[in-house]
Amino acid sequence: MSSSAASRVAAATLNTIAMQLGELTQGASESDTLEFCAALRGLIRASAKLIPESAPIALLSMGHDVERSLRITQESVDSAPIGIYRIDGDGKVVGVNRAACESLGYTREELESLTVFDFDGTFTRETWLVHRTETQALGASTVTTTHRRKDGTTFPVEVYVKQFMFDGEPYTVTFVKDLTETLRSEQERRGLEIRMMQAQKLESLGVLAGGIAHDFNNLLMVILGNLEVALRKIPPAAAERAWLSDAEGAAHQAADLCRQLLTYAGKGKSLAEPVDLGALLREQAKMLEVIASKSIRLLLNQARDVPKILADVSQIRQVFMNLIINASDAIGQTPGVISISTSTMTCDQEYLDAIGISHVLKPGFYVSVAVSDTGCGMNEAVRQRIFDPFFSTKTASRGLGLAAVRGIVSKHGGAICVDSEPGVGTTFRLLFPVPESLDTRVPEPEPTEPWCGSGVVLVVDDEEALRSLAQRMLDRLGFEALVARNGIEGLAIFKQHRERIGYVLLDWTMPEMGGGEAFVELRRLKPDLRIILASGYAPEDIFMRLGNRHATAFVRKPYNIMELAAAFQAAAAEKEG
């Protein structure tokens, strides 16, 4: 190519780059990038004007200025934050800037000896010709592709392509942007959106769980209350008594589940107390056998003198149920064995390191519960994910399962580890810390008969069955009961019988006028009125909502006659004091 032609190519190329930088500034979001591209565009425009289109003699006469201008132009292009390539019609690289070399790991000489096919797997010679023709028709195009570095690694890029003809030869100028950080940011944004959606779903589940638990608590109270009345009337030796006792035990466990749902919904509070895990397992054995398949044998292997731990009984029951469900599903319909073993362990650092929980627990004295099954076992890939929320290898999963188990164990200061082998079975080992000291005082024996009082009680509850049950219980305790369906009706009845009514048994959650609003109005009418609040929610939550207004007593649903009597006894004692 002649010097004159070369100068015209250089000028045309520089003008094209300047034009594309102008277009890039239109979509730029960062102010620094915008200012840089604008300044670079001006430099290139000025450099292009210094290259004459006249004869070589003119170029020679301006040699020094032109050479300096070209160096400035090259330095300007090299300073661009994105890769800039000039590619001929056959796909050969004929010019690059510094960012292009750095992104691919080549020197300028190495890169200018390659073709676009050497580092862009999208194009072959045939597809390049098609792409060149399409770009020539459109004037410009943008493609997303993958570039391959000198070391073989790849990275995503966005390529803006502009084509022009000069002296019958096609030239292509490309601007290449590395999308690695952009895609990473997008993935992080999507991940955040997914986590927010999951949080919203969990919040909705919490609201739903709280509503279901509240309604179910009311039903359980009717069941438990009537079972209690029936048991008191049946002779101790009657065969029917065992049936009713089993039903009462199952209803109490259902009430524990309701409390756990309310805790999950943020309307209950975990209650830690000394728990004998061996005794709890023996008590729960019948229900665990029902959960497991009929072809499975359940074995309890309990060591002697296992110390108590501080735990929420209802949550530990849920742990056992979830582990038995998981083990039963692993065994399936074939005959198998599930064994539950309790023991004490002194765990040193070496042991904790070996089972992979040294980052969770410190060396010390622990109560161990091992749940083993003869099921299908797990491979390492499944074992790594079993505690992920909503993860399951079954087509029909039964709840949060192992994710809930780990969460509960962690809340109790413990840890869980897994040992599994495909075709052999699985063992889950739970470690609970043994507290340094427990309250060893022997509790006073519970009375066999409820405390009795006298007076008129206003029962305010929106559930008819609960009103009737409370009325029968209060009658048994020596009280006369008046009933109301909601706060508005309760206030009307109280105003009519203000002098007679000494106590109010007030439900917290009711339509029209709830317990909180009714409480304020009742105390306004009679400041020393003895009000016993009734709710399935934790008392701390109720008292926090009341602020500095003090309730006389609290009874948690579902309650029995002994618990109701204790609440009224406390209210009567406070009045006398």
> Given a cut of 60, is residue 397 above it in pLDDT?
no
Listed residues 218, 249, 269: the one ending a domain? 269
The stretch 41-68 carries a mean pLDDT of 51
Last residue of a domain, one of 269, 294, 313: 269
For residues 334 and 390, membership in a common domain is answered with yes
User: In terms of DSSP bridges, do strands 501-507 and 480-484 run parallel, antiparallel, or are they unpaired?
Assistant: unpaired
Query: Domain tally for the chain?
Result: 4
Cβ atoms of 377 and 424 within 8 Å: the answer is yes
- Is 441 contained in some domain? no
Q: What are the two backbone dihedrals, phi and then psi, of residue 541, each rounded to the nearest 5 degrees?
A: -65, -40
Residue 231 structural domain: 200-269
User: Does 69 score more than 80 pLDDT?
Assistant: no
* Number of other CB atoms surrounding residue 26 within 10 Å: 8
**Which residue is it, tokens 């709890």?**
280
pLDDT of 522 over the 90 cut:
yes
Q: In this structure, what are the phi and psi dihedrals at residue 294, rounded to the nearest 5 degrees?
A: -65, -25
Per-residue pLDDT at 57 exceeds 50: no
Q: Which of 30-44, 83-97, 315-329, 404-418 has the lowest mean pLDDT?
A: 30-44
Please state, in angstroms and as integers, the Cα–Cα distance from residue 513 to each residue in 465, 486, 516, following that order: 19, 6, 8
In a domain, 80, yes or no: yes
Q: Rounded distance, CA 178 to CA 36, Å? A: 18
Please report whether residue 218 resides in a domain. yes
Q: What is the DSSP string of 171-223?
A: EEEEEEEE-HHHHHHHHHHHHHHHHHHHHHHHHHHHHHHHHHHHHHHHHHHHH
Residues 139 and 250 in one domain: no
Domain assignment present for residue 178? The answer is yes
Same domain membership, residue 396 and residue 264: no
Q: What is the CA radius of gyration of the chain?
A: 39
Q: Do 291 and 221 have their domain in common?
A: no
Asked if residue 385 and residue 399 are part of one domain, the reply reads yes
Q: Let me know whether 22 and 159 are in one domain.
A: yes
Residue type, 191: G
pLDDT of 91 > 90? The answer is no
Is residue 447, in this structure, part of any structural domain at all? Answer: no
One domain for residues 173 and 217 = no
116 and 14 within one domain: yes
Q: Does residue 71 form part of some domain?
A: yes
Give the residue from 522, 561, 563 showing the smallest Cα distance to 539: 563
CATH at residue 484: 3.40.50.2300
Claim to verify: residue 13 and residue 121 sit in the same structural domain: yes
Residues near 557 by Cβ (< 8 Å), separated by ≥ 6? 217, 218, 221, 534, 535, 536
**Burial call 534-564: b when 16+ CB within 10 Å, e when fewer:** bbbbbeeebeeebeeeebbbbbbbbbbbbeb
pLDDT of residue 478: 95
End-to-end CA distance of the chain: 112
| 128 within some domain | yes
Residues 208, 286: one domain?
Answer: no
Residue 193: inside a domain? no
Task: Report whether 14 contacts 44 (CB < 8 A).
Answer: yes
- Domain with 317 in it: what CATH number? 3.30.565.10
Identify the CATH number of the domain in which residue 152 sits: 3.30.450.20
Closest by CA to 462, choosing from 414, 505, 510, 418, is 510
Q: Is the peptide bond before 558 cis (omega within 30 degrees of 0)?
A: yes
For 199-203, 305-309, 369-373, 390-394, which range has the lowest pLDDT when averaged over its residues?
390-394
Instruction: List the single range of 134-148, 249-263, 405-419, 487-501 with lowest mean pLDDT.
Output: 249-263
The 8-class DSSP code of residue 456 comes to: E
Q: Could you tell me the CA-to-CA distances from 298 to 325, 438, 577 in Å, in that order?
A: 12, 31, 54
End residue of a domain, out of 433, 467, 502: 433
| Same-domain pairing of 287 and 423 | yes
> Domain check: are 257 and 286 in the same one?
no
